[in-house]
């Protein structure tokens, strides 16, 4: 068996006074693809935000270990340097900051973190060109402001492009399929699959089984009321697609 | 309440002959009237409307020296220019404290029909021309103007002849350099004749960190029919420099005026922009950018008066305030009954980057006829927390992400500069300002 890349134990997190994550346990090994499903408001996006270090949330209990490091102690930028990547459900528009400057800052910050010299302009542009091809991203988008005026599909492709550039060890895709038409879904998921190796891992957060036709999970978890209440193989996703979440809700609500 | 004018009036009483001696009759002509105005008034303080956040009275209260007897204060120009002055091919003149010094290249390369010279020299050589224009736009009843008129002994005179269009920007570098506290009464007179076109760039620098400086500057600009002037002003002075700059613009038919004013480094600054649109089909743009940290104070006040129909004015002022900095903006548009079919817009947007920085804004519109399209508005907020997190999540350290966002915020003011070389240079200066490398340590004092 491969090494454990991420180990989350009894993770509790709140926003303001409201507790959203109520004891998450999750283990992800290198080479694995995990899907996290669950009804609206169950805490899926909160889990991804907390792992990426969004300061809007407070961790109140529990731990998260990322290839041996205490993840929760790291600033968001250092989590990124250490190989964690979050593909945002709603990528942020940043008017006035060009994609090129944004990516150059990101790439060189990572190199600095590992005591490597900044990348030359030529090498950087060459890399941008190569990585763009992964998600068929138009060259024109590179000179525009980050996500500004991008269509829903372009924004998601832009996320996967950034993932290709940063070469993370663990990618969390938060509802990457939302707002995508079928063609964009195919391009985005084929991009994700191209970036997949035996050494990295992926957590796919989604409402629908549809995305899992393209990105095949090894494990499917159901998140409900801030806890992982069920774990199974790919067949669990199919079962959810067919029967909905009500049977799980009933099962859990009756238990507590 | 104290009256800071007293010391200036006494000084003038004692030395009026010396003041006149160091100047020219066409400038001396108005001093008596200025003295009378000042004898019956005081400088504005915070109890006066429009000056709630900046007391001119306080600014002028300290005992600064004035170089009335025109002692030659040596200014090492080469050292001043080493890093900060835009690397542009310009026609350059220097105002050392309050004395105009042309550069050799300026004298050699001035195109026909273009005058850039000492105001005093012009007043001696072409007295009628100066007498006609000097003091014709800036009202001497204004206390700031009166005080400047009382002591201004030299200045800059720029005249663009009829139909002359010059591509090369005219650059005037204002430099303060003195071992003792110094006040300079700077005066600028710009006349753009019919259908002429020019780009004029001013930049303010202070040498000798620790010396206290006060600049009183009055700028008069006359645009005749069809003239187009772009006026750029970049202040990169010092924490010990106070500046009171009053601009008065008189626009005639079909003229176009654009002012782009950037305050990057300063102590305490008050800029006033007064534009009277006296002809049809004029266009006016007032743009401003204020970047302040530590205890910098920046106050911009605009007043655009539409006195003729079918003209357009646009104002955009943006501030980024950090640390204990404070900013103020008061914008005024007045559309008179004689100005139907006016389009006038005004916008002020600010970012407060720390808990102690303060911004005060007062956008105003006065409309006295029905056929207008006008808008005004102001926003003040913080850096977008979501954008910050997004950038951090991609590995960009927080401090760098903040800088990138602040810089991005200024981009639309920078983009109002249509001259590409200047726009690039301004973008570069803003970048350096946010990196805290504008006052670069390798050439301390420039």
Chain-chain contact of B394 with A75 (C-beta, under 8 angstroms):
no
Among B89, B159, B151, CA closest to B117 = B159
- Out of A220-224, B178-182, B419-423, the most confident range is A220-224
| Residue B83 touches chain A, beta carbons under 8 Å | no
Q: What is the ipTM of this complex?
A: 0.96
Instruction: Work out the number of other CB atoms within 10 angstroms of the CB of residue B164.
Output: 18
* DSSP string covering chain A: -PPEEEEEEEEEEEETTEEEEEEEEEEEETT-EEEEE--TTSSHHHHHHHHHT-TTSEEEEEEEEETTEEGGGS-HHHHHHTTEEEE-SSPPPEEEEEHHHHHHHHHHHHHHHTT-PPPPHHHHHHHHHHHHHHTT--HHHHHSEETTT--HHHHHHHHHHHHHHH--SEEEEESTTTT--HHHHHHHHHHHHHH--SS-EEEEE-S-SHHHHHS--SEEEEEETTEEEEEE-HHHHHHHHHH-SHHHHHHHHHH-
Band of pLDDT at residue B219, cut at 50, 70 and 90: very high
Q: Which residues pair with A223 in a beta bridge?
A: A228
Q: What is the pLDDT of residue B85?
A: 46
Contact between B385 and A55 using a beta-carbon 8 Å cutoff: yes
Look up residue B140 and give its two tokens. Answer: 């001497």
Nearest C-alpha of chain A: how many angstroms from B290?
17
* Least reliable range by pLDDT among A8-12, A235-239, B86-90: B86-90
Query: Do the Cβ atoms of A77 and B397 come within 8 Å?
Result: yes
Cβ contact, residue pair B393, A105, below 8 Å: no
Q: Are B241 and B211 in contact (CB under 8 A)?
A: no
Q: Which of A92, A158, A161 would best serve as a mutation to test chain B binding (most B beta carbons within 10 A)?
A: A92
Q: Touching check for B390 and chain A: CB below 8 Å?
A: yes
Q: Which domains does chain A have, with CATH numbers?
A: 4-255 (3.40.50.300)
Residue of B nearest to A77 (CA): B395
pLDDT at B441: 41
Across the interface, whether the CB atoms of A95 and B408 are under 8 A apart is answered: yes
List, as ranges, residues 327-386 from B with C-beta within 8 Å of A: 384-386
Domain limits for position B20 = 5-443
Name the residue facing B393 among A76, A97, A110 (closest C-beta).
A76
Q: Determine, for residues A109 and B395 on separate chains, whether the beta-carbon distance falls below 8 Å.
A: yes
3-state helix, strand, coil in chain B (%, to 5): 25, 40, 35
8 Å CB contact between B223 and B191: no
- Mean pLDDT, chain A, integer: 93
Closest CA to B240 of B294, B276, B278, B194: B294
Give the gap in angstroms from C-alpha B391 to the nearest C-alpha of chain A: 8
Instruction: Please give the pLDDT value at position A252.
Output: 83
State the residue for tokens 């911004």: B359
Count the Cβ atoms, other than its own, within 10 Å of residue A244. Answer: 11
Which chain B positions have a beta carbon within 8 Å of A79's beta carbon? Answer: 393
pLDDT at A248 over 90: no
Average pLDDT over residues B172-199: 95
pLDDT at B79: 57
Query: How many structural domains comprise chain B?
Result: 1
Q: How far is B397 from chain A (nearest CA, A)?
A: 6
B440 touches chain A (CB under 8 A): no
For B28-84, the pLDDT digits (tens) are 999 999 999 999 999 999 999 999 999 999 999 999 999 998 888 777 665 555 444
Average pLDDT over residues B320-336: 96
Q: Taking a C-beta distance cutoff of 8 angstroms, is the pair B371, B338 a contact?
A: no
Choose the closest CB to A166 out of B390, B395, B409: B395
- Which pLDDT value is given to residue B104? 81
- Number of Cβ pairs closer than 8 Å across A and B? 79
The 8-class DSSP code of residue B419 comes to: S
With beta carbons less than 8 A apart as the criterion, state whether B230 and B258 touch.
yes
User: Model confidence over B188-205: pLDDT tens digits?
Assistant: 999 999 999 999 999 999
Taking CB atoms and an 8 Å cutoff, what residues of chain B touch A93?
A: 387
* Residue-averaged pLDDT of chain B: 92
Alpha-carbon distance A26 to A72, whole Å?
Answer: 15
3 state DSSP class of B106: helix
Residues of A with Cβ-Cβ distance to B409 under 8 angstroms? 96
d(CA A140, CA A137): 9
CB contact (8 A) between residue B397 and residue A109? yes
**By the CB < 8 Å criterion, does B408 face chain A?**
yes
Q: Which of B389, B404, B409 comes nearest A76 by C-beta?
A: B389
Q: Does A121 touch chain B (CB under 8 A)?
A: no
How close is the nearest chain B Cα to the Cα of A106, in Å?
Answer: 5
Beta-carbon separation of A102 and B391 below 8 A: yes
Residues of chain A in contact with residue B396, where contact means CB-CB under 8 angstroms, are 77, 102, 105-106, 109
**Residue pLDDT, tens place only, B271-303:** 999 999 999 999 999 999 999 999 999 999 999
Residue in B with minimal Cα distance to A55:
B389
pLDDT at position B78: 59
Question: Could B391 and A94 be called an inter-chain contact, meaning their C-beta atoms sit closer than 8 Å?
Answer: yes
Predicted local distance difference test score (pLDDT) of residue B80: 57
Looking at per-residue pLDDT, the higher value among A175 and A143 belongs to A175
* Per-residue pLDDT tens over the stretch A154-194: 999 999 999 999 999 999 999 988 888 888 889 889 999 99
Output the pLDDT for position B76: 67
Please give, rounded to a whole number of angstroms, the shortest distance from the CA of B287 to a CA of chain A: 18
Q: Which residue of B has its CA nearest to A98?
A: B408
pLDDT of residue B88: 61
Q: Is the pLDDT of residue B269 over 50?
A: yes
Query: Burial letters for A89-116: b for 16+ Cβ neighbours within 10 Å, e otherwise?
Result: bebbbbbbbbbbebbbbbbbbbeeeeee
B389 touches chain A (CB under 8 A): yes
B406-417 per-position pLDDT tens digit: 999 999 999 999
Closest-approach residue (CA) in chain B for A53 = B393
- Cβ-nearest to A94 among B387, B395, B397: B387
Q: Which of A105, A108, A114 to mutate to test the interface with B (most CBs of B within 10 A)?
A: A105
């Amino acid at each position: 068996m491969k090494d454990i890349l991420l180990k989350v134990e009894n993770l509790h997190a709140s926003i303001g006074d409201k507790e959203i994550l109520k004891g998450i346990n999750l283990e992800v090994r290198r080479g694995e693809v995990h899907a996290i499903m669950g009804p609206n408001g169950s805490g899926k996006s909160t889990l991804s935000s907390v792992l990426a270090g969004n300061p809007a949330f407070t961790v109140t209990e529990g731990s998260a270990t990322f290839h041996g490091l205490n993840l929760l102690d790291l600033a968001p930028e250092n989590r990124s340097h250490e190989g964690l990547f979050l593909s945002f459900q709603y990528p942020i528009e940043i008017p006035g900051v060009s994609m090129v400057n944004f990516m150059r800052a990101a790439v060189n910050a990572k190199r600095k973190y590992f005591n490597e010299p900044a990348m030359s302009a030529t090498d950087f542009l060459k890399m941008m060109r190569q990585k763009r091809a992964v998600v068929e991203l138009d060259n024109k988008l590179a000179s525009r402001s980050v996500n500004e005026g991008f269509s829903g599909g372009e924004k998601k492709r832009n996320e996967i492009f950034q993932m290709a550039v940063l070469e993370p060890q663990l990618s969390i895709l938060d509802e990457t399929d939302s707002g995508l038409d079928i063609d964009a879904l195919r391009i985005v998921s084929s991009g994700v699959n191209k970036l997949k190796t035996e050494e990295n891992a992926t957590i796919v957060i989604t409402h629908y089984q549809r995305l899992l036709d393209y990105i095949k999970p090894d494990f499917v978890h159901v998140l409900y009321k801030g806890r992982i209440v069920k774990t199974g193989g790919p067949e669990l996703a199919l079962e959810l697609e067919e029967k909905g979440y009500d049977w799980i809700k009933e099962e859990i609500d009756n238990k507590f | 309440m104290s009256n800071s004018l007293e010391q200036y009036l006494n000084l003038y009483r004692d030395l009026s002959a010396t003041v006149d001696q160091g100047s020219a009759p066409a400038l001396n002509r108005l001093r008596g009237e200025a003295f009378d105005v000042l004898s019956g008034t005081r400088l504005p303080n915070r109890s006066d409307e429009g000056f709630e956040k900046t007391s001119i009275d306080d600014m002028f209260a300290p005992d600064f020296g004035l170089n009335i007897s025109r002692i030659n204060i040596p200014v090492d120009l080469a050292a001043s220019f080493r890093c900060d002055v835009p690397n542009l091919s310009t026609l350059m003149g220097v105002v050392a404290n309050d004395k105009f010094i042309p550069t050799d290249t300026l004298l050699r390369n001035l195109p026909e029909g273009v005058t850039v010279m000492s105001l005093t020299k012009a007043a001696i050589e072409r007295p009628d021309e100066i007498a006609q224009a000097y003091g014709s736009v800036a009202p001497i009843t204004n206390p700031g103007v009166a005080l400047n008129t009382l002591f201004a002994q030299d200045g800059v005179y720029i005249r663009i002849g009829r139909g002359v269009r010059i591509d090369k920007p005219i650059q005037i570098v204002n430099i303060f350099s003195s071992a003792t506290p110094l006040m300079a009464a700077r005066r600028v007179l710009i006349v753009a004749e019919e259908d002429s076109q020019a780009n004029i760039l001013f930049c303010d620098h202070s040498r000798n960190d620790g010396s206290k400086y006060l600049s009183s500057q009055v700028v008069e600009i006359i645009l005749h029919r069809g003239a187009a002037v772009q006026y750029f002003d970049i202040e990169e002075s010092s924490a010990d420099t106070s500046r009171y700059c009053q601009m008065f613009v008189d626009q005639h038919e079909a003229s176009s005026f654009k002012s782009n004013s950037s305050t990057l480094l300063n102590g305490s600054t008050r800029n006033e922009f007064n534009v009277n649109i006296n002809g049809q089909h004029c266009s006016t743009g007032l743009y401003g950018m204020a970047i302040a940290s530590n205890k910098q104070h920046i106050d911009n006040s605009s007043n655009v008066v539409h006195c003729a129909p079918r003209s357009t004015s646009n104002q955009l002022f943006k501030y980024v305030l950090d640390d204990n900095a404070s900013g103020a903006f008061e914008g005024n548009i007045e559309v008179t009954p004689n100005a139907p079919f006016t389009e006038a817009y005004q916008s002020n947007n600010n970012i407060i980057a720390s808990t102690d920085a303060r911004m005060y804004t007062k956008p105003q519109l006065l409309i006295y006829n029905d056929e207008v399209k006008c808008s005004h508005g102001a926003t003040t907020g913080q850096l977008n927390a979501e954008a910050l997190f997004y950038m951090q999540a991609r590995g960009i350290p927080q401090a760098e992400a903040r800088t990138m966002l602040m810089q991005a915020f200024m981009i639309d003011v920078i983009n109002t500069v249509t001259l590409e070389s200047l726009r690039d240079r301004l973008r570069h200066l803003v970048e350096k300002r946010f990196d805290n490398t504008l006052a670069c340590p390798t050439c301390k004092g420039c």
